[in-house]
Amino acid sequence: MKALVAMSGGVDSSVAAYLLKKDGYEVIGLSFELWDRRDVKKFNTCCSAETVEIAKSVAGKLGIEHYTIDVRDAFYRYVIEDFCDSYIAGSTPNPCILCNKYIKFDFLLQEAKETGTDVIATGHYARTCRAGTSDKSRVLLKKGVDFRKDQSYVLYVMTQEQLSKTVFPLGDMRKEETRALAKEVGLESALRPESQDICFVGNGNYTDFIRDFAPEALKPGLIIDMEGKVVGTHKGIALYTIGQRKRLGVSSLKPLYVAGIDIGNNIITVGSREDAMRKRLRVKELKWISVETLSETVRAGVKIRSTMKEEHAVLTPEGDKTVIVEFNEPQWAPAAGQSAVFYNGDVVIGGGVIE
């Protein structure tokens, strides 16, 4: 059987390729050319020219075929432009989820079909299984066993077709086991540091990126308190997100946090920590995995950021397009544009974008 593995040059995808070859697959490594050769050189991606060379080196070490495809236009259209547009609209985007939705698994599946490959694979810490014994039963997405590295949150956008063809070789492993195995095998990527959350913002300063690509999001405006009193000025709504405390530039005897963003009036509202808490959310752009759709109210665990433990909530559908999430307890700073992902134990029910 053939396996097509997305190789970024990092330790996780390198070990995924190694494990599949060890299991008897004919493994082919695939890297994506995303961004590195565009006009602006100071921003790098996890699939920069340097990391693609590392992926090629690892493939050579493993004795597997490797090639690269150019997806720059799609990456720019679906990830970079959305990233900038979201900040202009006063919301906080999640480019990793967009990349999984529009780039990584779409192109992997397309390449697999064209090359007659049996399965596709990545180095994500997640698992899949069938809900039943029939080939027509739904494919479930489950958390990885390493709760600290579980990446099911960023994979909820996968389709049934993609899940049915995907294997996650690291789903039953812990990160320290992955690194230890990479060292044992002698892979060049063994000591590479973790990739950044926003991979295409090479120096970690997304402000510079927004300044270059969406300067209209940096229009100054007013900062008001919860009573509507003007307490300062901001440097552009793109620089602020719900729950932010640092760099507000407002003098106060008590800690202040961003509690609201009014895009229409270009106003930031600040308040106490409690003012940034929310118990009720509306979620749009729904994607379902374990069910075809949600037709009735159910209880679920819900994550509103990838690093948190899911919290108990009730999901109430509003037709087919939105769901109301009502938490048992108020949650810290849910931000429009981020994703809410729904769980039943280890199984991903689905998810969507916080409105």
Tell me: pLDDT of 189 over 60.
yes
Total residue count of the chain as it appears in this document? 355
Q: Is there a single domain that holds both residue 166 and residue 281?
A: no
Q: Is there a single domain that holds both residue 225 and residue 319?
A: no
Structure-token match 């973790």, residue found: 194
Q: Is there a single domain that holds both residue 266 and residue 336?
A: no
Instruction: Report the pLDDT value the prediction gives residue 79, as an integer from 0 to 100.
Output: 93
Q: Is there a single domain that holds both residue 12 and residue 40?
A: yes
In this predicted model, what pLDDT tens digit does every residue of 163-181 receive, in sequence order? 999 999 999 999 999 999 9
**Residue numbers of the domain that contains 97:** 2-191
In this predicted model, what pLDDT tens digit does every residue of 72-82 receive, in sequence order? 999 999 999 99
Q: Is there a single domain that holds both residue 27 and residue 142?
A: yes
Task: With beta carbons less than 8 A apart as the criterion, state whether 166 and 158 touch.
Answer: yes
In this predicted model, what pLDDT tens digit does every residue of 99-133 receive, in sequence order? 999 999 999 999 999 999 999 999 999 999 999 88
Number of domains in the chain: 3
Identify the CATH number of the domain in which residue 46 sits.
3.40.50.620
Task: Indicate whether 207 belongs to any domain.
Answer: no
Instruction: Report the pLDDT value the prediction gives residue 34, as an integer from 0 to 100.
Output: 87
Instruction: Report the pLDDT value the prediction gives residue 38, as an integer from 0 to 100.
Output: 46
Cβ-Cβ contacts under 8 Å for 180 (sequence gap 6 or more): none
Tell me: pLDDT of 337 over 70.
yes
Tell me: pLDDT of 46 over 60.
no
Task: Indicate whether 209 belongs to any domain.
Answer: no
Q: Is 99 an annotated catalytic residue? A: yes
Identify the CATH number of the domain in which residue 266 sits.
2.30.30.280
Q: Is there a single domain that holds both residue 39 and residue 171?
A: yes
Q: Is there a single domain that holds both residue 30 and residue 91?
A: yes
Instruction: Report the pLDDT value the prediction gives residue 210, as an integer from 0 to 100.
Output: 83
DSSP string covering 284-314: EEEEESSSS---S-EEEEEESSTTSPPEEEE
Q: Is there a single domain that holds both residue 87 and residue 33?
A: yes
Over the chain, what is the mean pLDDT? 91
Q: Is there a single domain that holds both residue 286 and residue 300?
A: yes
Task: With beta carbons less than 8 A apart as the criterion, state whether 283 and 337 touch.
Answer: no
Q: Is 199 an annotated catalytic residue? A: yes
At 24, phi and psi to the nearest 5?
100, 5
Q: Is there a single domain that holds both residue 34 and residue 179?
A: yes
Tell me: pLDDT of 316 over 60.
yes
Q: Choosing from 46, 47, 99, 129, which is the catalytic residue?
A: 99
| Beta-strand pair 322-332/347-354 | unpaired
